[in-house]
C-alpha cells in the first residue's frame, strides 16, 4: 500500500529512535534513546504510545541496553525487562514483547539473538496490521461514516494501525467513506494524532470533541465505530483509552455496530475479566491544563468496555465475537 504514513520508530546501528508523539503534529522530531532510563521515560510520558508500539519499542530498548552492557547476562536482561514493564501497566503488549525477547536469550544467549527477536516482533506487527486491514475492510461500506477514539493508527504500531488498518485498506481500494475522530481528552490523541495521520494519508476526516459523539450519532452520520485496545481479557472485556466505554454505550443506544481491532498479542488469556486489569492513573495536571479550577481530579487513562457491548473483535486471524475470543484464538 502506497500511503503517506509516519514512521513511528527506527532501529539504526543498535539504537532506537522514536518519533516524539508528545509534540505531534506541530513538530516532527525523532528522540534518540541512549539509556534504558530514556526508554522508560519515553514510554511513560507517551513519546511512544499505543499498545503494539510500546511493545515493539521496549523490545528494541531492551536489546539496545544489552548491546551497551559490557557483561550481558540473563539476570541483567530480566532486571531491565522488569524495569521497562513498570513504565505503563495496562497494555499487555509491553510485557508480551519483553517476555518474548527475554525468552529468545534463554534459547540462544547472544545480543544478536535479542536483536533478531526484536526485529521479528517489529516485522510481524506490520504483517498483522495488514491482515487486520483485510479482515475488517468490508465492515466499511461505500459512503459510510466511521467513528474512532484515541489513536489506534499507524503511530500506535509499526505501520498501518489496528483500527485504522481497515480504513487504509478501503481507501487504497478507492472506496469513499468519512471518519469522525474523537479528540480524546485529556491528551488529545484523536485530535493531534489520528486526525493528522488520516489527513496525511488522504482520508476524509472530521474532528469532533468527545462530547459531540452522541449528537453526531443521533444525526445519522455514524454507521460504524472502530477502536483499538490495550488488552482483551478472557471473557472478552475490552480495555481501551478512557472514553471508549462512552462510545460503546452510545453505539448500543443508536444501534451502531461497535468493533475493536487488535493483534492476538493484545489478548490476555491469563486475566479472567476487565475488573482484574490494572488501570493506569495519570497525573492530575493532564486534566487540569491551564483552564480548570485547581480542584481534585480523576485521571484514569483507560476504561473497561464489557464484552456484551462489543459487536466483534477484528484480529489478524479474522473476526470473532468478544465472548468467543478464547476459543477463536486457541493456542
Active site residues: 230
Per CB under 6 A, which region of 44-52, 57-65, 133-141, 306-314 contacts ligand MRU?
44-52
Q: Which is nearer to ligand MRU, 21 or 216 (CB)?
A: 21
Q: Which is nearer to ligand MRU, 66 or 227 (CB)?
A: 227
Q: Phi and psi at residue 146, in whole multiples of 5°?
A: -120, 130
Alpha carbons 100 and 52: distance in angstroms, whole number: 13
The three-class DSSP label of residue 208 is strand
Q: Does 158 bind ligand MRU (CB under 6 A)?
A: no
Q: Which of 51, 165, 203, 260 binds ligand MRU (CB under 6 A)?
A: 51
Q: Which is nearer to ligand MRU, 55 or 145 (CB)?
A: 55
Q: Which is nearer to ligand MRU, 77 or 87 (CB)?
A: 87
Q: How far is CA 84 from the centre of its chain?
A: 17
Q: Which of 59, 54, 62 is nearest to 36 (CA)?
A: 62
Asked if residues 31 and 20 have their Cβ atoms less than 8 Å apart, the reply is yes
Judged by CB under 6 A, the number of residues near ligand MRU is: 19
Q: Which of residues 227-256 bind ligand MRU (CB under 6 A)?
A: 228-230, 240-241
What's the angle, vertex CA 209, arms to CA 207 and CA 213, rounded to 5?
95
DSSP per-residue codes, 241-281: ETTHHHHHHHHHHHT--EEEE--GGGEETT--SGGGSPPPB
Q: Does 48 bind ligand MRU (CB under 6 A)?
A: no
Per CB under 6 A, which region of 8-16, 153-161, 208-216, 310-318 contacts ligand MRU?
153-161
Q: Does 277 bind ligand MRU (CB under 6 A)?
A: no
Q: Which is nearer to ligand MRU, 72 or 186 (CB)?
A: 186
Q: Which of 81, 140, 150, 181 binds ligand MRU (CB under 6 A)?
A: 150
Q: Which of 39, 128, 301, 322 binds ligand MRU (CB under 6 A)?
A: 301
Which residue's CB atom is positioned nearest to ligand MRU? 228
Binding mask 168-197 for ligand MRU (x = CB under 6 A): ---------------------x--------
CB of 107 to ligand MRU, least distance (A): 28
Q: Which of 52, 161, 125, 135 is nearest to 319 (CA)?
A: 135
Question: At which residue does the C-alpha cell 508523539 appear?
Answer: 21
Residue 181, class by beta-carbon neighbours within 10 Å (0-12 exposed, 13-18 middle, 19+ buried)?
Answer: buried
- Bridge partners of 261, per DSSP, are 314
Q: Distance between the two ends of the chain, CA-based, in angstroms?
A: 31
Binding site for ligand MRU (CB under 6 A): 46, 49-52, 91, 150, 152, 156-157, 161-162, 189, 228-230, 240-241, 301
Amino acid at each position: 500500500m502506497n500511503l503517506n504514513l509516519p514512521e513511528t520508530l527506527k532501529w539504526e546501528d543498535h539504537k532506537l529512535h522514536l518519533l516524539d508523539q508528545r509534540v505531534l503534529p506541530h513538530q516532527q522530531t525523532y528522540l534518540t534513546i541512549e539509556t534504558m532510563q530514556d526508554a522508560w521515560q519515553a514510554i511513560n510520558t507517551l513519546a511512544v504510545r499505543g499498545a503494539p508500539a510500546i511493545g515493539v519499542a521496549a523490545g528494541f530498548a531492551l536489546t539496545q541496553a544489552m548491546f551497551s552492557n559490557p557483561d550481558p547476562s540473563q539476570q541483567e536482561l530480566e532486571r531491565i525487562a522488569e524495569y521497562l514493564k513498570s513504565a505503563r501497566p495496562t497494555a499487555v503488549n509491553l510485557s508480551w514483547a519483553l517476555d518474548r525477547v527475554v525468552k529468545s536469550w534463554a534459547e540462544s544467549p547472544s545480543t544478536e539473538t535479542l536483536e533478531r527477536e526484536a526485529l521479528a516482533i517489529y516485522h510481524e506487527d506490520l504483517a498483522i496490521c495488514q491482515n487486520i486491514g483485510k479482515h475488517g475492510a468490508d465492515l466499511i461500506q461505500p459512503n459510510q461514516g466511521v467513528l474512532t477514539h484515541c489513536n489506534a493508527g499507524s503511530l500506535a504500531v509499526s505501520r498501518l494501525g489496528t483500527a485504522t488498518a481497515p480504513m487504509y485498506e478501503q481507501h487504497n481500494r478507492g472506496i469513499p467513506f468519512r471518519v469522525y475522530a474523537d479528540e480524546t481528552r485529556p491528551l488529545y490523541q484523536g485530535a493531534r494524532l489520528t486526525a493528522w495521520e488520516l489527513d496525511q494519508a488522504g482520508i476524509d476526516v472530521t474532528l469532533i470533541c468527545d462530547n459531540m459523539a452522541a449528537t453526531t450519532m443521533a444525526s445519522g452520520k455514524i454507521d460504524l465505530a472502530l477502536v483499538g485496545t490495550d488488552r482483551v481479557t478472557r471473557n472478552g472485556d475490552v480495555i481501551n483509552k478512557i472514553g471508549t466505554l462512552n462510545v460503546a454505550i452510545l453505539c448500543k443506544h443508536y444501534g451502531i455496530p461497535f468493533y475493536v481491532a487488535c493483534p492476538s498479542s493484545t489478548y490476555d488469556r491469563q486475566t479472567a475479566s476487565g475488573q482484574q486489569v490494572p488501570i493506569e492513573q495519570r497525573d492530575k495536571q493532564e486534566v487540569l491544563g491551564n483552564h480548570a479550577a485547581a480542584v481534585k481530579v480523576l485521571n484514569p487513562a483507560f476504561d473497561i468496555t464489557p464484552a456484551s457491548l462489543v459487536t466483534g473483535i477484528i484480529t489478524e486471524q479474522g473476526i470473532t465475537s468478544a465472548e468467543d475470543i478464547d476459543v477463536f484464538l486457541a493456542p
